[in-house]
Structure 1
């Protein structure tokens, strides 16, 4: 990033940030840092509870360094990737958009975003695998970078562990492209590993920045993955959110119903006919067959695990104890607000030294990640 860019949007880590709660015999005072309009911060603390779930007083916005502010510039994206034009439609306000219920349109939009903003070529995923919303994923990476800046862990070379990278490889791509981090991307799924390696094959310039490694034990997070002598400044993770396949399916049906109702209200031109599958695309036929599946996809191991998000994060915490000298900061998204105080208490019981909860916002969606170190 250039000096001019730094002057335009100073990293939050260079501003006054909240302190982390220290584990100890006394109940820690946990601060939650969050961004105001324009990239400034406010500090909030609840003395009677380790985490305050109250709504912010002012609307939150994306991280100031996130390039995906406001509406997508569809004209610029089409110039970058002409294939996107076939999926464009117009909303009642006359603005160009896509049908987010169409999985092919969502994948094509991601291809255009990655190529336009990050120079990533040939990005693709197998049918049915998780197709990530890139603005939110970018927010996580930028706030994680602020965490490293705050604790002066941003000195080159920075090595970051991407837990459960999936077929999309998104966090490793963003970390390597935005901050030149050296990424170790891991997953238990063989198909996801092959897809991630295919993305790297299409991007030779990133091959020396990203290593893809399969986790051989589907019951482990760090064990059998981190090797003796390896050091990481940070780990990132998008954990399985649901406790069962049925719960994941019910949530998907709810989202599909909402999308359908939204589409029925829109008065838009008739959609263009679907383009035939590209024979040179190994997943082209599969994508056509999977058109009516989840618009953002997701395999079982990406979406759910026994006990759900909280059980996964507790397992991650227990394993992280063994690697506290090899990973400076462990972090993970945490989707359910009610799980935050439970995790903070659990982390305290496991003897963590410091914790951080970082709140993020993308449009109407509020998300957060939790961080801890030993």
Structure 2
């Protein structure tokens, strides 16, 4: 999270003369209306940067250093703030930025040129009548994107009177153009449209994501994801003064994020969080990793992929092979065939002989299989003693 109080804007203005007109005597950025393009949305920087820092952490959790970060920005606006920030934030970055407003795209091109980012940001116009938020021009010419970001229109075009909104805001506030603020179905309808297209595109984008301005939409969207068997998602909250915004990301790939990236600490979101990828079990006696490996090797369809100091990494291929019901089902010719599912788990013991086992779900879609494996290994490890035959 960026703390604006820690930024010395006067020092920055002394180094970058173009910034000086925007900094006041209180060492704050002074956004005056005369510096803005009228009837266009003026994005606030801090929460955009928080959004990008979150997706950067997600991206770094499962890519190799030096990889190019490929990004799609839906509805980039005349001041393509997400692409410009992303181009500075990521060492190697390529952004495809879309918009339906061609006047905004012309202004965006000028801003990109002034920042010397033409080689990193590509603008793509979208037909207003196109039902797809992600144009085929992008998806057809690129193998895969790492992330998609979106700040959807807030208001429902069919229910809100623009004049009433203006009268309830401070005078001089630049509200933005119609397409930036209004859409059929409002924010919820716009995001559902993206989810529906993501279901068709699936792996074309590793992580789809959106900013959410209406908290009540969050539970509806997560229910919709679950309805379509999209269990791999992540939540985050941006808290800027009196303003709260929520972030939702989802993926059709099996990479499971660390809880610190996928689950919000906000108490009001506890029930909406995705399943935990961490499980800790305290044993009644110490056990070393060699003994753990011996226990794991007794299980069919469970393999040791590799081990490192203090950790062992296992891969489960197939369904539960350790419960009695599963073993009986495997010998029954009438049991329906199940397609194998891959589950990757790390088991850590921070000391050579520790009483505590740390399980981390790394990859896969079957949460119940993960929990079942954790319980089985924990029970076996608890009952194991040095004199017990493994």
Deviations 1:5-46 (A, max 9, x none): xxxxxxxxxxxxxxxxxxxxxxxxxxxxxxxxxxxxxxxxxx
Choose from 13, 22, 26 the match for 1:78.
13
Aligned to 2:248: 370
**2: CA distance, partners of 1:366 / 1:154:** 32
For 1:42-61, what aligned pairs fall within 5 Å after superposition?
A: none
Q: Secondary structure at the match of 1:324?
A: helix
Aligned to 1:306: 184
For 1:12-91, what aligned pairs fall within 5 Å after superposition?
A: 63=1, 66=2, 69-70=4-5, 73-80=8-15, 82=17
- Measured at CA, do residues 359 and 88 of structure 1 come closer, stay the same or move farther in structure 2, by a change above 3 Å? closer
The TM-score, its normalising length taken from structure 1, stands at 0.60
Residue-pair matches, total: 248
* 1:103 matched to 2:103: no
Deviations 1:152-171 (A, max 9, x none): 47761120111111111110
C-alpha contact (below 8 Å) 1:217/1:224 kept by paired residues: no
Choose from 178, 183, 194 the match for 2:95.
183
Aligned to 1:202: 114
Q: CA deviation at 1:128?
A: 1.7
The TM-score, its normalising length taken from structure 2, stands at 0.58
Aligned to 2:387: none
C-alpha contact (below 8 Å) 2:146/2:206 kept by paired residues: yes
Aligned to 1:240: 153
Q: Secondary structure at the match of 1:226?
A: helix
- Measured at CA, do residues 171 and 83 of structure 1 come closer, stay the same or move farther in structure 2, by a change above 3 Å? closer
Aligned to 2:197: 319
Q: CA deviation at 1:85?
A: 5.5
Q: CA deviation at 1:310?
A: 0.4
Aligned to 1:287: none
* 1:211 matched to 2:146: no
Q: Secondary structure at the match of 2:97?
A: strand
Q: CA deviation at 1:184?
A: 0.8
Specify which structure has the bigger relative contact order, considering alpha-carbon pairs within 8 angstroms and separated by 6 or more residues.
1
Aligned to 1:221: 133
Q: CA deviation at 1:96?
A: 4.4
Q: CA deviation at 1:299?
A: 0.8
Q: What is the alpha-carbon root mean square deviation over aligned residues?
A: 2.5
- Measured at CA, do residues 232 and 98 of structure 1 come closer, stay the same or move farther in structure 2, by a change above 3 Å? closer
Q: CA deviation at 1:338?
A: 0.7
Aligned to 1:254: 168
**1: CA distance, partners of 2:169 / 2:6:** 21
- Measured at CA, do residues 86 and 232 of structure 1 come closer, stay the same or move farther in structure 2, by a change above 3 Å? closer
Larger radius of gyration: 2
C-alpha contact (below 8 Å) 1:242/1:305 kept by paired residues: yes
Q: Secondary structure at the match of 1:135?
A: helix
* Higher strand proportion: 2
Deviations 1:214-258 (A, max 9, x none): 12344320143433251101000000011138455434432316x
Aligned to 2:46: 135
Q: Secondary structure at the match of 2:79?
A: coil
**1: CA distance, partners of 2:165 / 2:103:** 25
Instruction: Structure 2: give runs of 5+ residues left out of the alignment.
Output: 253-390
Q: Secondary structure at the match of 1:361?
A: strand
Deviations 1:314-340 (A, max 9, x none): 111111111112101100001111110
C-alpha contact (below 8 Å) 1:237/1:331 kept by paired residues: yes
Instruction: Structure 1: give runs of 5+ residues left out of the alignment.
Output: 1-62, 108-125, 258-291
- Measured at CA, do residues 99 and 178 of structure 1 come closer, stay the same or move farther in structure 2, by a change above 3 Å? closer
C-alpha contact (below 8 Å) 1:130/1:299 kept by paired residues: yes
Q: Secondary structure at the match of 2:109?
A: helix
* 1:330 matched to 2:208: yes
